[in-house]
Each structure stands twice: as C-alpha cells, then as structure tokens.
Amino acid sequence: MSAQLPTSDARAWFLVGPTASGKSAVGQSIAEQWPGDILSADAMLVYIGMDIGTAKPTAAERARVRYYGLDLVDPREPFSAGAYRVAALRAIQATRARSRPLIVVGGTGLYIKSLIDGLAPCAPGQSAVREEAGRRLAAEGIGALQAWLRRVDPARYSSLADPQNSRRLIRALETALIGEAPAHGNWREARDSPRILGLKWSLPQLYDRIEARVQAMFAGGLPAEVERLLQAGFEQAPTASHAIGYAEAAAYLRAKCSLEDAMNKTAVRSRQLAKRQMTWFRHQCNVEWLDVDSAMTTAEIAGAVRAYWQAHGPTPLAAG
C-alpha cells in the first residue's frame, strides 16, 4: 500500500502527555470500548525487540486492539520523523478503509506535530539539519540547540530575538549550516494549530509513577531484554542504544554500575524526559490539558477523555 496524503477531511483523536502519564492505558481502554485502532506516536516504540523498557503494549493488549506505529525497524537502522509520517499515512489509510476511528497516543512531540502540521519539503541538507535538531531537542532539550548554534555561529545566536524559541533556533541552524536561508516551513504557531488533548499530573505524582515504572521494568526483565539486544549488535544502534533504561541496563550488564545505580539513573533521565515533553507541548502544540490524579482510575480518566472528545470532535490531520 503506497503512503498517500490524507484527504482534507481525515481526522484522528489525539491523546498526548509525558512518559508514565498513563496515556497508553487510557488509549487501550477507549479503543476496546469504541472499538477503534491506535497509532503510536512514540519514537522508541518503532524499534523491534525493545518491548519492556519502552512499555510497549503487550501481546494480549495487541490481540484486543489493532496497533500501528510499533515494531517498524531494527534498532540498528536509522529512523526519522519523515519515515514515521510515511508509516502513519499508511495507518490513516487502513483505518479509513475499515471505517475505524483512529486514536493517536504518544509523547514524541515531533511525531505529533508531523501529523497535525505536516513536514515541509526541503533540500537534503536542510532536511538533515532539521532532523538532527529535532532529535537533539527531544532528547536533550532547548539548551542543546542553543549550544549547537553558539558553537557554529555565535553571531547568529546573539542576534536571535528569542533564543528560547526552538523553531527560530532550528531555522537559524539551517541557515548557518547549509549557507542559505531555509525555505519557510509549513508549521503553524502553537496557538494556531488544531487543539489536542493531553494528560497532566502534578509533578510529585508523576515522579512517583515514573519510579514505579522503572521498578517494574527492571523487575520485569529489562536487563535480560538488553542482553539479547547486545548479542544482536545493539551497541551499534545510533539512537536506540542510548534510550532511557537501555543504556543504564547495558552499563549494569557490563559491570560499570550497580543495579541500584542503573535504576536510579533511569528514573532521573525519565523525569528529565517528562519535563522536556511538557515543555515541547507547551511551545509547539495547542494542548488542552486534562488534570488527573492518583485518586482516578484508568476507567474514570478514559471517561473524561471520551467526554472531551465527544464535545470537541476529532483533530484534522495535515494534508501536506
């Protein structure tokens, strides 16, 4: 099936949020009740064999709900937002052909943005810079882009009116690194983008959930999963080998740290990721936040999400 652009009336139901926010469980619950299909928008879930550390849906869950966006490439293969969008377009076609509602669930802002606003066509050099900038922003935060631009073109960095604006930083990097003004992209300002729904926890409760997830991952066999990946050449994976939990488990297996240290570092990196995800969504997407807390069950949160969706309708997808 070729990956064609969605028609102008293509829509999906979005549920976003930081890591460990429970969005996957809520999406599963809603998809089973509806019934509907789920498109994952998580950069680590695309890798085959990376299941425990990414909290990938279980075989039982996938038997009850049809998923897209999972297990797309070997961890040693490169993968980009453009490749994700191609896979997502196939999912959109498939669900429309089956007359099924499509629920997009994830926390990778670049993937979400590609579905809502599309990816502007650009020159190969510009595309490479944009992809790398997007990866650094998602993995390391705005400071990584600022440091990169200061290193390659300090004067251009100093001239920026708003060095906290990631979109302007990326455009400046494109200009500096390929030596020409970048073509104007088709991404809208966040306030002009279609509204999507996100789950918001208080930081203390979210951090408790992250800690519980890390404990469950390591107790559930993450070191053994990483050992199998290492035997298959995982160390050569350009992005996946640095994934949260996987790098730490690998260090433990090589006797470079204790199990407790590996778990603690995984929790720290997960908290940092959650903060970066929330910052991305605040500045790059138009998110309506649904406040949730530990007193609410998954079913109750799912009910609140469905009520919002029923009131506001699905989000239009970018046709270009």
Pairwise CA distance, residues 221 & 318, whole Å: 39
Sorted by sequence, the CB contacts under 8 Å of residue 110 that are 6+ apart come out as 43, 81, 134, 137, 138
pLDDT in tens, 179-220: 543 333 455 666 678 899 999 999 999 999 999 999 999 999
Residues 103 and 133 in one domain: no
Number of domains forming the structure of the chain: 2
Q: What is the pLDDT of residues 29-78, one digit of tens each?
A: 999 999 999 999 999 999 999 999 999 999 999 999 999 999 999 998 87
pLDDT at 60: 98
Residue 187 one-letter amino acid: W
pLDDT of residue 64: 98
- Do 201 and 92 fall into the same domain? yes
Task: Write down the pLDDT at residue 183.
Answer: 37
Instruction: Note the pLDDT of residue 182.
Output: 35
Which has more confidence, 238 or 84?
84
Task: Note whether 78 and 210 are same-domain residues.
Answer: yes
Mean pLDDT of the chain: 88
Domain annotation covers residue 3: no
Closest CA to 133 of 93, 186, 173, 178: 173
User: Using one digit for the tens of pLDDT, what is the confidence trace for 260-307?
Assistant: 999 999 999 999 999 989 988 988 899 999 999 999 999 999 999 999
* Closest of 17, 105, 111, 55 to residue 246, by C-alpha: 55
Q: What are phi and psi of 30, to 5 degrees?
A: -70, -45
The pTM of the full predicted model, rounded to 2 decimals, is: 0.81
CATH number of 255's domain: 3.40.50.300
Q: Does residue 104 share a domain with residue 195?
A: yes
Q: What range does the domain containing 256 cover?
A: 11-117+190-316
Instruction: Tell me if 202 is assigned to some domain.
Output: yes
